[in-house]
Amino acid sequence: SLRSTGSAVAPGRLMISATNDITATDSGILDALAAAGASFANSRVTNNAVASISGGNQAQLLNQSGDVTLASRSDAIISASATALAGLAGFGESNAKAFNRPTNTIQLRGTTIEGQDIRLWSGIDATGVPNTLSTTADSQIQAITVGITVPYVSAETTETNSIVLDGSSRILARANAYL
């Protein structure tokens, strides 16, 4: 049981937050300086971070004079870059892949939450700021005079925000409940 106390004049505040703040960058550079050459440059960055808040069976979050906020959020900047030079005459590939897949969850299983306003926010922090996500990929390849050069690039952002209330969970808001 977690309890916040206060009064009508000075209400208590009960806030639980889970936040990820991630910056990941990869840069691959390959130069084949020959009359004829083959180059293969690869860069791959993946973010699978999880920001999670869980409440178990018979857990209680109680604020008798104010609000209760549970918030899970992610900020992530993910960048992949691959550059290759395939010589005077050459062939090759340059691959850059960036995957930004954060998961934010609130799971309450048989948990009781009681307060004035109750906020269960997944993908939003306690002040109302949403996830900030950036995913970039850059792929460059060249031959100085002639060649077969193929750049491949992929940048993907998949954001998962979920709130799970199951079992005998109870949300007892004296004013408003925000999900």
Predicted confidence at residue 96, as pLDDT, reads 95
Q: What is the pLDDT of residues 87-120, one digit of tens each?
A: 777 778 889 999 999 999 999 999 999 999 999 9
pLDDT at 35: 66
143-157 pLDDT tens trace: 777 777 788 999 999
Beta-bridge partners for 150: 93
The predicted pLDDT at position 90 comes to 74
Q: How far apart are the first and last CA of the chain?
A: 22
pLDDT given at position 144: 75
Overall average pLDDT of the 58-83 stretch: 96
Res 148: pLDDT: 77
pLDDT confidence of residue 17: 96
pLDDT at 158: 97
Looking at the predicted structure, is the pLDDT value of residue 138 above 70? yes
The closest alpha carbon to 68, from 145, 170, 177, belongs to 177
Q: Mean of the per-residue pLDDT values for the chain? A: 91
Q: How far is CA 49 from the centre of its chain?
A: 6
Percent of the chain with pLDDT over 90: 76
Length of the chain as a residue count: 179
Q: What is the pLDDT of residues 17-38, one digit of tens each?
A: 999 999 999 998 887 666 667 7
Tally: H helices and E strands in the chain: 0, 15
- In this prediction, residue 8 has a pLDDT band, given cuts at 50, 70 and 90, of confident
67-94 mean pLDDT: 89
